[in-house]
Amino acid sequence: MAVQVDPEWWNSGFWNGRPISESLRRRDVTAVFRFLHARGVSYGRIAALVGVSSNRAAEIAKGVRQVTAYEVLERIADGLNIPRPAMGLGRDEDAVVPVDLGRVAVEGGADRSLAGVGTSVEVSDLVRLRLGLDEALAASSVAPPQLELIEESASEHMRVYPSASPQVMLSFLAADCREVQMLSQRRQPAAVQSRLSGVAALLATMCADALMRLGDVAEARRWYGTAIHAADDSGEPRFRVLVRAQAAMLPYYFGDPTQTVALADAALAVTLRSPRFRGAVVT
């Protein structure tokens, strides 16, 4: 029987000689996962509770992957029965509130107008606003190691895909799809978004093929559409060719052969426009 997470652990538990509540305040998810694992909660169980893959949960516990995205922190708190205030989630200071124009309290008690415009603002409000802006900008980008791990995970899925059952693959792919979706919903630099879209194209292609193997033709067709959209968004010719070539298999087996020819022609057209193209095909 799987070990259940006891909410009381977060109040009375200790990790490395310190209250686990300190790790929660620091949003140290690595310590939280290690704390749970030491109490018999497997990484697989943790992963299921918070909606990530087992490999990803293990990476977080090893400190290879850091969790900074607010949405993921919320999911972890909810999945592990951690009170949100214990991790500083959902409090007023987590939100960027419009600054109330007023007077600036400067050292010595004097008041001073900012920029000579006749209005002033509390220095403490400006500090909070600046910190909130810094946090928003930091949260909008994906750290290079995190992006590399996402890409490595997709590559690993491609490696094991031919020998794994479609049901098993769909469960693994779903966790990565959720993470890429979450990251893509926030503002990202163009180069980062291009790489995320490339990963999304690979994941969606594998989901579509798994559904095709399970006989769910309608849903497979929709996933191939998503894969093509993501590949085009990435701007990478190799992804654009890969997903169209793979999508051509669906009408070949379950539909109109003329659609297969159309998709094959579309893939070929990309290669003709990209002489330096070097592609790969999911098998």
So where are the chain's domains?
9-87, 96-139, 144-273
pLDDT in tens, 133-156: 555 555 556 667 777 888 888 888
Which contiguous run of DSSP H or E holds residue 144? helix 144-160
| pLDDT of 203 | 92
Given a cut of 50, whether residue 101 has pLDDT beyond it is no
- pLDDT tens figures, 212-247: 888 888 888 889 889 998 998 888 888 888 888 888
pLDDT tens per residue across span 26-48: 899 999 999 998 888 888 889 88
Q: What angle do CA 211, 232, 169 make, to 5 degrees?
A: 25
- Averaged pLDDT for residues 96-104: 37
- Give domain 144-273's CATH superfamily: Tetratricopeptide repeat domain (1.25.40.10)
Lowest mean pLDDT: which of 61-70, 84-93, 110-119? 110-119
**pTM confidence score:** 0.51
